[in-house]
Amino acid sequence: MPDGTGAAGTEEFARLLSELKTRSGLSYGTLAKRLHTSTSTLHRYCNGTALPHEFASAERFARLCRATPEELVELHRSWILAEAARGRRAEQRAPETPAAETRTADLPAAEAEPVVEVVSAEPAPPRRRRTALIVSATAVALVAAVLVVARPTGWGGGGGQAKGDQQAAAATATTTDSVTTPVAPEPLPTTPTAAAETTPAPSSATPPSPTAAPTPTPTSTDSGPAPLTVGTRPYVYADPCSQHFLVNSGPAQVGPPAPERDAPRWAAAYGAVSSGEQEVALTVQGTGTDTVVLLGLHVRVTAKGAPLAWNDYSMGVGCGGGVDAKSFDIDLDRGSPVITVKGGQRDFPYKVSKSDPEVFYVTAHTKAHDVRWDLTLDWSSGDRHGTVRIDNGGTPFRTSADVNRPGYDYPLGGGEWIKREGG
């Protein structure tokens, strides 16, 4: 197997995607239509001339091609290494690189995928060195996004007046934090007793800033930084229909559903909370030459209360069955929740290094409570050991039961939320 470093990393990633596509029997046109992207973008992914800016794009491609849980993990590992290699090449070219060139990919404006072109580290002499960064029209618009105070509407276009013009911004949620002295659980705010279906007045609080806080360096039991990093995806879609959010607003006040890459911003803009279940992906990678042993993963409940009396909004409709991926499971309704293995997942310990990361999927669920929780990861390397706290951008993850709440779907091609039958 290729070592996943340098150009080999990009080639391995492209090879895995191409094999999945060939095995599926689906054409580029069919895949592009289902993924709301262009055939040329998928061609570039599969021939190694472009690398997705976020893994979520490749994961949706792989799931449509019926990738196995093992193949998803291997694909994620190869993307991490290819992305790291691309970053190193960019740093090496930096002294000779002119101002970055920005343009919009050849995708529909509402569904444009961020794409990073793979540029050769040693271009031919007549060819000017450059790094072409292709960003979606949506990402460009976010630079000038206005913080909407009263009624955030529109997310990704479609339906309603100017639904794409007032996107609420929020902090990007991919961070890890260091462990501090445990604190007493904070009390949950009082939840409304009336049904949210009555369209309560929107909050006057200002949405979170679109500028993400710097990621703190994980700390250990000694004075040095931890020899590992943890990347967090707080809302993993097994398929678009798998993710539901509870929102304390009526359907007229909630914009269209968000794809996975926009879920953190969408959730922050509407004060949304995962409904019933929340799947989190953790990418753990060493930072140096030494191997790091991951000893165990633990859950900590910081607050628990009555389930939220809010409306349930689905992020997709008409989906097929998802892949039963290997993961770790948390029953948040237990008196003292613990992490258990699920779907054939191997339990800890694991080993990681700079060239050999691991990806863990953690699924937390509740049927009776509103729960705030975070994770801790114990590690050792040589004579050092420590613990890393993992949360959602500096705040606990939050998952609330959906107890007979009104439910809404957003039909494909539609322009408004439709009340779910029986919801």
CA separation for the pair 375, 349 (Å, rounded): 16
Q: What pLDDT sits at residue 242?
A: 80
Contact 138, 156 (CB under 8 A): yes
- Tell me the residue type at 155: W
Q: Give the residue among 269, 289, 180, 243 at the shortest CA–CA distance from 399.
A: 243
| Predicted confidence band of residue 116 (pLDDT cuts 50, 70, 90) | very low
Angle in degrees, CA 49, 64, 73, rounded to 5:
70
Residue 301 has pLDDT above 70, yes or no: yes
Q: Which residues, at least 6 apart from 116, have a Cβ–Cβ distance to it below 8 Å?
A: 50, 51, 52, 53, 86, 133, 134
pLDDT, residue 216, reads 43
Spatial separation of the C-alpha atoms in residues 94 and 162, rounded to whole Å:
40
pLDDT at 128 over 70: no
pLDDT reported for residue 144: 37
CA distance 302 to 187: 9
* Distance in angstroms between the alpha carbons of the first and the last residue of the chain: 50
Nearest of 160, 52, 182 to residue 115 by alpha carbon: 52
Q: Which of 353, 355, 354, 373 is nearest to 365 (CA)?
A: 373
CA dist 326 and 334 (Å) reads 22
The pLDDT, as a whole number, for residue 34 is: 80
Of 270, 266, 257, 246, nearest in space to 370 by CA? 246
| pLDDT-based confidence at residue 275 (cuts at 50, 70, 90) | very high
| Phi, psi angles (nearest 5°) of residue 351 | -125, 140
Q: Cα–Cα distance between 165 and 146 in angstroms, integer?
A: 9
Sign of CA dihedral 89, 393, 61, 135: negative
Question: For position 249, what pLDDT does the model report?
Answer: 96
Would you mind telling me the total number of residues written for the chain in this entry?
423
Tell how strand 176-178 and strand 50-52 pair up: unpaired
Overall average pLDDT of the 255-262 stretch: 91
Q: What is the mean pLDDT of the chain?
A: 73
- Token digits of residue 196: 């949210």
Across 193-197, average pLDDT = 40
pLDDT digits (tens, 9 = 90+) for 36-82: 788 889 988 999 888 888 888 888 888 888 888 788 888 888 888 88
**Separation in Å, CA 88 to CA 4, 84, 116, 298:** 14, 6, 14, 34
8 Å CB contact between 192 and 206: no
Q: Residue 274: which H helix or E strand, with range? A: strand 273-275
Q: What is the pTM of this model?
A: 0.58
Give pLDDT tens digits for 344-386.
888 999 999 988 899 999 999 999 999 999 999 999 999 999 9
Rounded Cα–Cα distance for residues 270 and 152 (Å): 7
